[in-house]
Amino acid sequence: MPSPFTDAFHAIHDRFFIDGAWVLPARAGTRDLVSASDETRLTTISMGSEVDVDRAVAAAGKALPGWSGRPLAERIGLLERLLAIYTERYEELARTISLEMGAPIDLARNAQARTGLTHLKSFIDLLGRFDFAEEIGTEAAPETVLHEPIGICGIITPWNWPMNQMMAKVVPALGVGCTVVMKPSEMAPLSAMLVAEMIREAGFPAGVFNLVNGDGVGVGEPICRHEDVAMISFTGSTGAGVAVSRTAAATVKRVVLELGGKSPNIIFADTDLEAVVRTGAAACFRNSGQSCNAPTRMLVERGAYDAAVGIAAEEARRTAVDLPEKPGDHIGPLVSRAQYDRVQALIETGIAEGARLVAGGTGKPPGFERGHFARATVFADVESTMAIAQEEIFGPVLAIQPFDTEEDAVRIANDTRYGLNAQVQSADRARALRVARRLDCGMVQINGAKRGPMAPFGGYKHSGNGRESGIWGLREFLEIKAVSG
C-alpha cells in the first residue's frame, strides 16, 4: 500500500503534541513501527517519559479554566470544525489505520474510520441537547443538580479500533469542558497523531488536547498516578486495567475501564440456522478477531448443533485472507508478532485439551510466508473448562458448544469472568428477551440487531466499569454538584 503520510505529517512522527505544538521528547527513546503484513519498518516514533507527561499535564491544567469557562456553543463550534476536517481527510485517516494495524482497507474505510465520524456527529448532537443544570426540587425547596467538567482527563486507547476508542473518549471530554492528556497504543499511534493534527488545524486552544506516545510503564503509569489528573478512561486488556486501577487509586481519581470479552452467541434451533451461523462466524473473524465484543463463543441448541458446526466450518474455509491494501471482504494480518504467537499458542492449547478442530488451525494460510496472518479457525465440542472457552484469544478463533435447555444456555453463557457483550438468536422474541435479562453482560444483541451510536457501551465483571457512547459516555466526564436553596 502506498504510504498515506504527507511529508509534513511524516516529519512529526518523532514528536508529541503538547500545548498546541509538535514538540520533541524530553529524553531519547524510540520505537520502530513494523508492518503487520510484510514486517518491514513503517516509521519510527519517540517514546515518552514522566517528564513529557508532566509537561502535557501542566499544559492541560493551564488551559482548563479558560476552556471549561467557554460557552458551550463555542466548544460545539470547534467540534463541528473538527468534524469537517475529519471528513475532508477521511481517506488519509483510513489508509493510515490500515497501514499501522493491518486492517483491510475496505474495513478501515467502512468501519474503523467510520466509527470515529459517528461518535463525532452523535456527541455534537447530544451536547446541544444535554441539560447541564437539572432542577429537582420544589418551588418551596428549590434544588439544582449541576453537571460540571471533572477536570484533566487521562485517556489511554488501544490499537484494535483506534478511532472508535479515541473519539468515544476525547470528543465528550472536550465537549463538556475537560482538557485531555492522551496516550494512544504504541503499536498503532499514527491515526491518533493525525487526529491531533486535525485538532490543531481546527483551532482548539493550546493545551486543551495533548498527546504523548509511549508504553504503559513510561507514559501510562505516570498519567494514572499524576495528582492533577482527575480521571482515567482506559481501554485495553483486563490485566492492564487492573494495573491502571491500582496505580490511580493512590490519588482517588475516577477510573473508567473498557476491558476484555468472551462474548457468547446463543442460537436456538427455531431460528434461520444457515443465516445466523454464517453471520455469527463472520462477526467472530471480522477485524481478524481483534475486537473485545466479538462473538467468539457460539452456543447452539443440541438439535441444531451438528448442522451449525458444519456451517461454521464452511464459513471459516471460505473466509479469505489477504493483504490489507487489497479491496474486498477478507481478513488481514494480526497486529504484531506477539499477537500472532499468542493466537497460535491458544489454538495449540485447544487441540491439546481435546476440542475438535473442524477448520483452520495453527500456522499461516497458504501463500503467506511473511506477515502475521492467521487462519480462520473453528473448534467444536468445546467445554467451559477449556482455555479457548475462557481466555480472550483476540484472533479469528471460534469455539462452539452445545446446550440442551434455556437454563443450560444461560449457565454456559455466564460461565466466564467476562461480561461485555452477548447475542441471542431465536424466532421466539419473548424467549430471547427472557434470556437477555439473565445474561451477566453489559450489552445484548437480539436476532442480529445493530447497536445504535447512542447506546451505552461497556460490560460487567472483568469486562470493566463505566460506559462509553450516548448520555452515559458524556456523564463519565462530568462531576455532580447539588445546590440547595
Which residue in 289, 303, 318, 291 sits closest to 399, CA to CA? Answer: 289
Give me the pLDDT at residue 77, please.
98
User: Are 275 and 199 within one domain?
Assistant: no
144, HSE (Cβ side, Cα atoms, 13 Å): 8
Contact 164, 113 (CB under 8 A): no
Residues 6+ apart with CB under 8 A from 291: 160, 161
Q: Which amino acid is at 420?
A: L
Strands 133-135 and 418-419: unpaired
User: Are 316 and 351 within one domain?
Assistant: yes
Q: Is residue 407 annotated as a catalytic residue, yes or no?
A: no
Give me the pLDDT at residue 10, please.
77
User: Are 204 and 189 within one domain?
Assistant: yes
pLDDT digits (tens, 9 = 90+) for 89-145: 999 999 999 999 999 999 999 999 999 999 999 999 999 999 999 999 888 889 999
User: Are 206 and 128 within one domain?
Assistant: yes
pLDDT digits (tens, 9 = 90+) for 345-358: 999 999 999 999 99
| Alpha carbons 206 and 78: distance in angstroms, whole number | 13
- Strand ranges in 381-472 using DSSP code E only, listed in sequence order: 397-403, 418-419, 421-425, 443-446, 460-461, 464-465
Instruction: Look at residue 33 and tell me whether its pLDDT is greater than 90.
Output: yes
| Strand ranges across the sheet with 297-301 | 356-359, 377-380, 397-403, 297-301, 264-267, 421-425, 443-446
Instruction: Look at residue 407 and tell me whether its pLDDT is greater than 90.
Output: yes
Rounded (10°) CA dihedral 296, 286, 454, 462:
30
Does residue 36 fall inside a structural domain?
Answer: yes
| Alpha carbons 96 and 88: distance in angstroms, whole number | 14
Does residue 458 fall inside a structural domain?
Answer: no
pLDDT digits (tens, 9 = 90+) for 286-337: 999 999 999 999 999 999 999 999 999 999 999 999 999 999 999 999 999 9
User: Are 117 and 188 within one domain?
Assistant: yes
Does residue 192 fall inside a structural domain?
Answer: yes
User: What is the extent of the structural domain holding 309?
Assistant: 264-452
User: Are 55 and 137 within one domain?
Assistant: yes
Q: Which of 186, 258, 391, 468 is catalytic?
A: 258
| Alpha carbons 295 and 420: distance in angstroms, whole number | 10
Does residue 151 fall inside a structural domain?
Answer: yes
User: Are 166 and 194 within one domain?
Assistant: yes
Contact 189, 179 (CB under 8 A): no
Q: What is the CA radius of gyration of the chain?
A: 23
Q: Residue 39's domain is classified under what CATH number?
A: 3.40.605.10
Q: Give the confidence band of 2 by pLDDT, cuts at 50, 70, 90.
A: low
The DSSP string of 105-174 is: HHHIIIIIHHHHHHHHHHHHHHHTT--SEEE-S-SSS-EEEEEEE--EEEEE--SSSHHHHHHHHHHHHH
DSSP letter assigned to residue 82: H
Does residue 83 fall inside a structural domain?
Answer: yes
User: Are 255 and 270 within one domain?
Assistant: no
Does residue 334 fall inside a structural domain?
Answer: yes
CA 287-439-298 angle, to 5 degrees, is 45
Please state the domain count of the chain. 2
Give me the pLDDT at residue 1, please.
62
Query: Which pTM was predicted?
Result: 0.96
User: Are 272 and 207 within one domain?
Assistant: no
Q: Residue 384's domain is classified under what CATH number?
A: 3.40.309.10
Does residue 457 fall inside a structural domain?
Answer: no
User: Are 305 and 383 within one domain?
Assistant: yes
User: Are 410 and 469 within one domain?
Assistant: no
User: Are 216 and 70 within one domain?
Assistant: yes
Give me the pLDDT at residue 130, please.
96
Does residue 321 fall inside a structural domain?
Answer: yes
